[in-house]
Amino acid sequence: MEWGIALVGFGNVAQGLARIITRKKDDLIRRYGFVPVVNAIVTGSKGTIWDPSGLDLEAVLRSLDERGDFSAVSASSASLDRILDDPRIGVVVDTTPTNLVTGEPGLSLIRRAIRSGKHVISSSKGPVSVALPELMALAASHGVAYRFEGALLSGTPSINLAMEAMAGCDVVKVQGIVNGTTNYILSRMEEGLNYSDALTEAQELGYAETDPSGDVDGWDAAVKAQIIATVIMGEPIALSQVKREGISKVSLEDVRSALSRGKRIKLVAQVERKDGVLEASVAPLELPLDHPLAGVMGATNAITYGTDNLRDVTIVGPGAGREETGQAILADLLAIVRERGLNLGRRTA
Ligand SMILES: NC(=O)c1ccc[n+]([C@@H]2O[C@H](COP(=O)([O-])OP(=O)(O)OC[C@H]3O[C@@H](n4cnc5c(N)ncnc54)[C@H](OP(=O)(O)O)[C@@H]3O)[C@@H](O)[C@H]2O)c1
């Protein structure tokens, strides 16, 4: 019998993962002993496809590109219940859209998958923000992993970096540029665009949504500050505990004035323990030009971890994108393969 993967959601991120897996399949088998077998794909409007012997991902991607659906794929369909009940499925990957208030639809899916004994990987911020302690406890009680690397900085290692690569360090302060849209807008304002022109440009380029409030009012960055506090600093907080100010009041004059004083305005998510009390905030800050985050321009993201054993560690990289976030899921899959001895695609019954 083979272990396989069920992909719930097949938009940007899951297609990015499918492209990486298709391109690097031989390499993944040779280097990691990881045989990536995807048995099921579940979507909101395009239905579900299911193949107990493994879907042909190249055919799936081609069908989507050419027809906009799965009609050219040779596969049957199955209900989500049947997929979750199937012992061949070892991992459920959730890339459904995120709702920061309810955590749905990912939250219910993750609960169901964990209760069915599946490892879960999710790129969705909603479930982490709404129910992380519950989900971690649930996963522990069912002896499965719940990993969500992609929810913080897309594929740029951030959660796994702090929790695994820097094991043994205490992270005492975190500062991050964790929202690419606002960093793009502020970078363009330095080049002379006013706030509304820079926002319009970000929307035209697909960085900002039609309703940009999630980015420019700091909500997205605030959820990431919450994730940092809860996961990396080990102190679960509610989103409402993150002090939040966005960038809509930052003027061209503010940006120019900061530059004339050797500073740069950045929207910074900050989590710090002061006298034993954890403080989390998102606000536009003037950073000196030699600050590790000051040179991070455009849609790029970065995080500086202030630690006891290493002092400051900064990582800079993409904070969004199809294959970039697909890479976060692949890293989580490989971590499960490594840590749990779960040899996806190769388990003998
Ligand atoms: N894109 C990025 O760069 C990025 C970076 C980091 C994190 N994320 C997070 O990753 C998640 C996925 O992002 P994305 O860009 O891939 O989104 P997307 O392109 O909108 O894809 C979402 C997928 O979920 C499906 N879906 C919607 N409701 C569903 C339901 N109830 N059950 C099953 N499937 C459902 C959609 O199907 P239909 O289209 O058929 O409805 C679609 O296939 C989001 O939570 C996002 O916030 C994205």
Judgement on whether residues 168 and 309 belong to the same structural domain of the protein? yes
Q: What is the pLDDT of residue 1?
A: 36
Please compute the mean of the pLDDT values over residues 237-256 and round it to a whole number: 96
Collapsing DSSP to helix, strand or coil, 149 comes out as coil
In a domain, 30, yes or no: yes
- Contact status, residue 244 vs residue 180, Cβ threshold 8 Å: no
Q: Can you give the CATH number for the domain in which 25 is found?
A: 3.40.50.720
Judgement on whether residues 209 and 63 belong to the same structural domain of the protein? no
Q: What is the pLDDT of residue 349?
A: 35
Q: How far apart are CA 48 and CA 38, in angstroms?
A: 13
Judgement on whether residues 218 and 291 belong to the same structural domain of the protein? yes
- Residue for token digits 């749905």? 104
Judgement on whether residues 314 and 181 belong to the same structural domain of the protein? yes
Q: What is the mean pLDDT of the chain?
A: 94
Strand partners, 273: 278
Ligand 1 atom with least separation from CA of 124: 45
Please check the confidence at residue 13 and state whether its pLDDT lies above 70: yes
Q: How remote is the CA of residue 14 from the centroid of ligand 1, in Å? A: 8
Cα dihedral 6/12/17/23 (nearest 10): 130
In a domain, 104, yes or no: yes
Digit-coded pLDDT (tens) for 99-136? 999 999 999 999 999 999 999 999 999 999 999 999 99
Judgement on whether residues 99 and 207 belong to the same structural domain of the protein? no
Residue located nearest, by CA, to atom 30 of ligand 1: 44
Digit-coded pLDDT (tens) for 180-192? 999 999 999 999 9
Q: How far apart are CA 204 and CA 175, in angstroms?
A: 29
Instruction: Please name the amino acid found at residue 33.
Output: G
Q: What is the pLDDT of residue 101?
A: 93
Tokens of 16: 């990015």
Q: How far apart are CA 294 and CA 191, in angstroms?
A: 15
Of the candidates 62, 223, 234, which has an alpha carbon nearest to the alpha carbon of residue 151?
A: 223
Q: Can you give the CATH number for the domain in which 256 is found?
A: 3.30.360.10
Judgement on whether residues 166 and 311 belong to the same structural domain of the protein? yes
In a domain, 47, yes or no: yes
Query: Binding site annotation covers 190?
Result: no
- Does 266 qualify as catalytic in the annotation? no
- Contact status, residue 26 vs residue 35, Cβ threshold 8 Å: no
Judgement on whether residues 198 and 77 belong to the same structural domain of the protein? no
Digit-coded pLDDT (tens) for 255-275? 999 999 999 999 999 999 988
Confidence of residue 287 (pLDDT cuts 50, 70, 90): very high
Q: How remote is the CA of residue 171 from the centroid of ligand 1, in Å? A: 31
Q: Which of 25, 224, 249, 263 is catalytic?
A: 224
Of the candidates 17, 295, 315, which has an alpha carbon nearest to the alpha carbon of residue 153?
A: 315
Q: How crowded is the C-beta side of 123, counted as CA atoms within 13 Å? A: 34
In a domain, 101, yes or no: yes
Query: Binding site annotation covers 209?
Result: yes
Judgement on whether residues 146 and 229 belong to the same structural domain of the protein? no
In a domain, 344, yes or no: no
In a domain, 349, yes or no: no
In a domain, 82, yes or no: yes
Please check the confidence at residue 340 and state whether its pLDDT lies above 80: no
Judgement on whether residues 260 and 333 belong to the same structural domain of the protein? no
- Provide the whole-model pTM: 0.94
Please check the confidence at residue 343 and state whether its pLDDT lies above 80: no
Strands 277-288 and 300-307: unpaired
Confidence of residue 210 (pLDDT cuts 50, 70, 90): confident
Judgement on whether residues 292 and 277 belong to the same structural domain of the protein? yes
Ligand 1 atom with least separation from CA of 16: 16
Judgement on whether residues 249 and 294 belong to the same structural domain of the protein? yes
Confidence of residue 339 (pLDDT cuts 50, 70, 90): confident
Q: How far apart are CA 13 and CA 319, in angstroms?
A: 12
- How many percent of the chain have pLDDT more than 70? 97
Confidence of residue 341 (pLDDT cuts 50, 70, 90): low
Element (H, E) at 167: none
Q: What is the pLDDT of residue 344?
A: 56
Judgement on whether residues 69 and 90 belong to the same structural domain of the protein? yes
- Domain holding 29, by residue range, is 2-155+323-339
Tokens of 58: 């190249």
Q: What is the pLDDT of residue 34?
A: 87
Residue located nearest, by CA, to atom 21 of ligand 1: 11
252 Cβ contact list (under 8 Å, min separation 6): 189, 192, 193, 194, 195
Tokens of 135: 């989900």
Ligand 1 atom with least separation from CA of 123: 10
Please check the confidence at residue 342 and state whether its pLDDT lies above 80: no
**Count of domains observed in the chain:** 2
Please check the confidence at residue 2 and state whether its pLDDT lies above 90: no
- Contact status, residue 149 vs residue 159, Cβ threshold 8 Å: yes
In a domain, 304, yes or no: yes
- Contact status, residue 96 vs residue 8, Cβ threshold 8 Å: yes
Instruction: Please name the amino acid found at residue 226.
Output: Q
- Contact status, residue 325 vs residue 13, Cβ threshold 8 Å: yes
